[in-house]
Amino acid sequence: MRILVIGSGLAGINTALLASEFAAVTLLSKADLSETNTRRAQGGIAAAISSLDDPDTHAADTIRAGAGLCDPQAVHALTADGVAAIERLLRLGVEFDRAESGELSLAMEGAHSTPRVLHAGGDETGLHIQSALLNRLAEADVDVRSGVTVTELVMDAGRCVGAITDARETILADATVLATGGAGALYRVTTNPLTASGDGVALALRAGALLRDMEFVQFHPTSLAVGGSAFLISEALRGEGARLLDATGERLMAQVHPDAELAPRSVVANAISASMQRDATDHVWLDISHRGAEFLQARFPGVHRGALERGWDITAGPIPVAPAAHYHMGGVYTDIDGRTTVPGLFAAGECASSGAHGANRVASNSLLEAAVFSARVAAAIQTGPAAAPTPAGQIDRMPLSPHASAPSWDDLHETMSEFAGITRTADGLRSALERFDRWTDTDTEDPSLPLATLTARLIAEAALQRRESRGAHLRLDFPDERPSWRRHSLHQLVIE
C-alpha cells in the first residue's frame, strides 16, 4: 500500500510514522520540515493524565468552550485517546517538564477547569515535539521531501488517488492525508508562519470534499504588539497570573467575565479589541512582572527571550499586546477517524474540522487533536479507503468558478484583515466578496496564493451567511448568539 502525507507538523509526521509500519509512505512539506505551527506552540498539550482529572471532565470543559458546535463524539475521542497520545509522545522522545518529584508537571490554562496542560522546555513545547518527531522521522522508512508544494489532488472516478506538486510531478497513492495545518497567513497579523495559508482546505474543496464551519477563525488575544510578524505571548502567562490592563492602567477583564483573564479566547480577544478601539490605540498591556524574574525566566524562557529580542522585558513591567490570527477551527470535514467525504482522502490536525473544537478552541487542545486524530487516521487507512458519510444539515453548494487568485499576498491580507477579521459586518464581508469576484488574474508564481485565495473566500462566504455571533465569530450587526444558528456551516463545490 502507498500512502501520501502532506505536511510535516505533528499531524503529518505522526501519521507517517504510524503508517510506515504497514505501508510505503511519502511525506511532503512545502517549506523546511520544521517551518510549522507545531514548532511554534508554546503553552502545551492538554490531557487528563492527573489522578484528579478524567476524560469526561476534559470533554465537558471542551464542549462548554465550543459554544454549541462541538461534536460530542469527536470530543470524547479526543479526550479518551488523550492519555495514550501523551504516552506515545513520551515514547517518541518528547521530554515534558517534570516536578522535582519526577511527576509530569501540569499547568492551568483558560477554559480548563483543572491543571492538565503538559509542557516542555517551559514554554517551548512545540519545539520539543517537532524535534523529537523529526528525529524519529529521520530513522523511519519514509520518503521525505521538503520544499515541495502540493497544488492539486488527483482524482479518479470520484476517488482521491494522489497529488500533483508545483514541479508538476504526480505522486499516486492508495490513501492521501492532508496535514497542511492552519490558515493564519491569510491575515496581515498572525502568529502562524507564512506557510500556514489554508492550502489543504482549498485542495480538498476542489476535489469535491465537504468543508465545515469555515467562518470560525480564532484570534489569539495576546501577541506582542511591536509590528511585523506577531510573536505570541502564551495564554500560560495568564494561567500564571498575568493581568490585562487598558491604556489607563485599569484591569480590563475583571468587569467582562467571571473568569477574568482566563475567559475563553474570543471573549478576551474581543474585549482587547474593543478597549483598543475605545482608547484609539493599537495595544493594551499585559503584566506578569509581580511573579518575579527568577520564576518567569524558568517558566517562560522562550517568551522572556523572544520579548527581550523585540525590546520588552516581561520581568520588568507591563508589555504591549494585541490580538493576531492564530487558529482555524473550521476546515475539511472529517468523521472521528479522519475520513473526509472523498474516498481515499483523509485529513488530520488543524486543516481538519474533526468536530473537537466547535466554534472556539480551548487552549492546548489542538496539539492533542493533531496527535490523537493522526493516530486514528493511520488506523483507519489500514482498514480501507472508505469515505465518511455526508453529515446531516443544509449544504451550500457553490459553482467551481469564479475562483481566481488574489493579485498579491498584500491584497489578500488587506481584504481579510479589514473585512473578515476579529469583528465582522455584512457590509464588510460583501465588500470582501466583491473583491474576490473582481480578481481574475491567476497568473502568479506562488503556487499557494490561488489556494489561499479560495480558502479565504470560503471564510468570508461562511462568515456572511452566519447571521449571529458565536464562539470566535463576532458579527457587529448580529451581536448575539441565536438558537436557530446552532448548526454547522457546510460548503461543497459542484463538480461537473
Ligand X SMILES: Cc1cc2nc3c(=O)[nH]c(=O)nc-3n(C[C@H](O)[C@H](O)[C@H](O)COP(=O)(O)OP(=O)(O)OC[C@H]3O[C@@H](n4cnc5c(N)ncnc54)[C@H](O)[C@@H]3O)c2cc1C
Is the Cβ of residue 12 or residue 355 nearer to ligand X in the bound state? 12
Would you state the cell numbers that stand for residue 67, as one nine-digit string? 459554544
Answer for which of 3, 10, 75, 432 binds ligand X (CB under 6 A) is: 10
- Minimum CB separation of residue 163 from ligand X in Å reads 8
- Interaction between residue 264 and ligand X (CB under 6 A): no
Whether 358 contacts 224, CB under 8 Å: no
Is the Cβ of residue 164 or residue 247 nearer to ligand X in the bound state? 164
The interface with ligand X within residues 26-65 (CB under 6 A) comprises 28-31, 35-38, 40-45
- Interaction between residue 191 and ligand X (CB under 6 A): yes
Contact letters for ligand X, residues 155-184 (x by CB under 6 A): ------------------------xxxx--
Site stretch for ligand X (CB under 6 A), options 23-31, 250-258, 431-439, 472-480: 23-31
DSSP 349-409: GGGEE-SSSTTSPPTTHHHHHHHHHHHHHHHHHHH--PPPPPPSS-EEEE-S-S----S-H
- Minimum CB separation of residue 99 from ligand X in Å reads 19
Answer for which of 244, 367, 378, 387 binds ligand X (CB under 6 A) is: 367
Say whether 193 sits in a helix, a strand or coil. coil
Is the Cβ of residue 30 or residue 470 nearer to ligand X in the bound state? 30
> Among the options 136, 188, 206, 265, which is catalytic?
265
Is the Cβ of residue 45 or residue 94 nearer to ligand X in the bound state? 45
Would you state the cell numbers that stand for residue 199, as one nine-digit string? 492550502
Site stretch for ligand X (CB under 6 A), options 65-73, 188-196, 255-263, 453-461: 188-196
- Interaction between residue 338 and ligand X (CB under 6 A): no
Answer for which of 4, 5, 7, 285 binds ligand X (CB under 6 A) is: 7
- Interaction between residue 125 and ligand X (CB under 6 A): yes
CA distance 187 to 196: 10
Contact letters for ligand X, residues 63-102 (x by CB under 6 A): ----------------------------------------
What are residue 6's DSSP bridge partners? Answer: 28, 178
- Interaction between residue 323 and ligand X (CB under 6 A): no
Say whether 471 sits in a helix, a strand or coil. coil
By C-alpha distance, which of 182, 184, 166 is closest to 409? 184
What are residue 170's DSSP bridge partners? Answer: 164
By C-alpha distance, which of 96, 95, 106, 98 is closest to 53? 106
- Minimum CB separation of residue 467 from ligand X in Å reads 28
Answer for which of 336, 370, 395, 429 binds ligand X (CB under 6 A) is: 370
Task: Tell me how crowded residue 158 is: count the other CB atoms within 10 A of its CB.
Answer: 12
Cα–Cα distance list, 437 to 208, 240, 325, 411 (Å): 21, 47, 24, 13
Is the Cβ of residue 328 or residue 424 nearer to ligand X in the bound state? 328
Indicate if the alpha-carbon torsion angle 471, 180, 125, 14 is positive or negative. positive
- Minimum CB separation of residue 321 from ligand X in Å reads 13
- Interaction between residue 325 and ligand X (CB under 6 A): no
Answer for which of 81, 97, 174, 199 binds ligand X (CB under 6 A) is: 199
Residue closest to ligand X (Cβ): 9
Can 438 be counted among the known catalytic residues?
no
The interface with ligand X within residues 221-240 (CB under 6 A) comprises 232
CA distance 131 to 297: 22
DSSP 274-299: HHHHHTT-S-EEEE-GGG-HHHHHHH
Whether 247 contacts 321, CB under 8 Å: no
Is the Cβ of residue 28 or residue 472 nearer to ligand X in the bound state? 28
By C-alpha distance, which of 381, 385, 349, 422 is closest to 199? 349
Would you state the cell numbers that stand for residue 147, as one nine-digit string? 520544499
- Interaction between residue 12 and ligand X (CB under 6 A): yes
- Minimum CB separation of residue 82 from ligand X in Å reads 11
CA distance 255 to 273: 15
Positions in the binding site for ligand X (CB under 6 A): 6-12, 28-31, 35-38, 40-45, 125-126, 149-150, 179-182, 191-192, 195-196, 199-200, 232, 327, 349-350, 364-367, 370
| Residues carrying an active site annotation | 265
